[in-house]
């Protein structure tokens, strides 16, 4: 449909240059030097080559997405607001009563027997 260039299948570029940083990391992970060189030269797609390609891929970078993190001490936590236990104690007694009444109502619900659940899952579905 109006394409000016002929479409050709993707051909992977030859991997003649071996990244020494990646090979060093592979050796730290327990791979042997000869095994690494053999896999890369013969282009064998085995676990060594897979790990090399995984370690050699560059992580995508996004412009404008820098996150700055600063450490904080436990003293900083108390200075910004009440602790979770203080928040709980400041709730009204009515909300506590509502929660406890919900719990008591849910405890009265029947619990299905595990055999019933298993039989229901294994039974065939009705035709539509």
48-66 pLDDT, tens digit each? 999 999 998 865 555 666 6
8 A C-beta contact, residue 64 and residue 77: no
Q: Kindly tell me if the per-residue pLDDT of 112 is higher than 90.
A: no
Four-residue CA torsion sign, 6, 11, 13, 14: negative
Cα→Cα distances 27→33, 35, 55, Å? 7, 10, 12
How long is the chain? 128
Count CB-CB contacts under 10 A for residue 48.
19
Question: Would you call 53 helix, strand, or coil by DSSP?
Answer: helix
Q: What is the pLDDT of residues 5-27, one digit of tens each?
A: 888 887 665 556 788 889 999 99
- What is the pLDDT at residue 29? 92
Most confident of 18-27, 80-89, 117-126: 18-27
């Amino acid at each position: 449909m109006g394409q000016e260039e002929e479409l050709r299948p993707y051909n992977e570029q030859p991997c003649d240059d071996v990244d020494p940083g990646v090979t060093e990391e592979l050796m730290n992970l327990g791979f042997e030097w000869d095994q690494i060189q053999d896999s890369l030269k013969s282009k064998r797609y085995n676990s060594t080559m897979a790990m090399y390609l995984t370690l050699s891929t560059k992580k995508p970078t996004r412009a404008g997405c820098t996150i700055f993190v600063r450490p904080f001490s436990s003293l900083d936590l108390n200075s910004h607001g009440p602790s979770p236990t203080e928040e709980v104690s400041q709730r009204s007694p009515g909300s506590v009563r509502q929660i406890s009444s919900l719990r008591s109502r849910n405890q009265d619900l029947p619990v299905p027997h595990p055999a019933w659940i298993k039989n229901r899952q294994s039974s065939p579905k009705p035709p539509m």
